[in-house]
Amino acid sequence: MAGKFEKYIVREMVREELPNEGVLAYGEVEGGTSGAHALMSGWQVPGSKVHIAYSWIHEVPTPNPYVLEHTHEYDEVLIWMGSNPEDINDLGAVAELTIEDEVYEISTSASVYIPAGVRHCPLGYQRVDRPFQFIALSLHPEYKS
């Protein structure tokens, strides 16, 4: 039964090209990820104040790093979620994220708050032992760089 709040439910993730990764960044991508899919955005749900891009990383992406350096005019939260239900902190991978020229290793399920205007990425991977989820939550209705 469709109720008055049905318009706020996104029932199908839509593949989208983000300017700092994949095809738009490199022109061609060999693989390693499901690609970015919009889970929530202002263009899917009018009035939404957030944009959430979601992907699976199932092997070291090619090219690597997969996401190039960039900034945003809004805050962003990057999230890595492992797929081991016996140990939710076990990412099953090792990522490297650069923030303002400092390199950080992400080897557990983790989240990183990126304030507006802060240079971040490249984002690359040393290894991927098992698939995990990567989510970029932008505090803005659309992804912009």
- Per-residue pLDDT of 82-97, as tens digits, reads 999 999 999 999 999 9
Report how far residue 81's alpha carbon sits from residue 100's, in angstroms, rounded to the nearest whole number.
Answer: 23
4 within a domain of the structure (yes/no): no
pTM (two decimals): 0.91
Residue 5 lies inside a defined structural domain of this protein: no
Q: Quote the mean pLDDT of the chain.
A: 91
User: Is 7 part of any domain?
Assistant: no
Q: What is the CATH number of the domain that holds 127?
A: 2.60.120.10
User: What gap in Å lies between CA 15 and CA 133, rounded to an integer?
Assistant: 15
| Token pair recorded at residue 74 | 């809004």
E strands along 41-116, which residues? 51-62, 76-81, 90-99, 102-108, 110-114
Say yes or no to pLDDT of 47 above 90.
yes
Residue 39 falls inside a structural domain = yes
Residue 144 inside a domain? The answer is no
Q: By the 8 A CB rule, do 94 and 127 touch?
A: yes
Is 36 within a domain?
yes
Domain that residue 76 falls in: 14-138
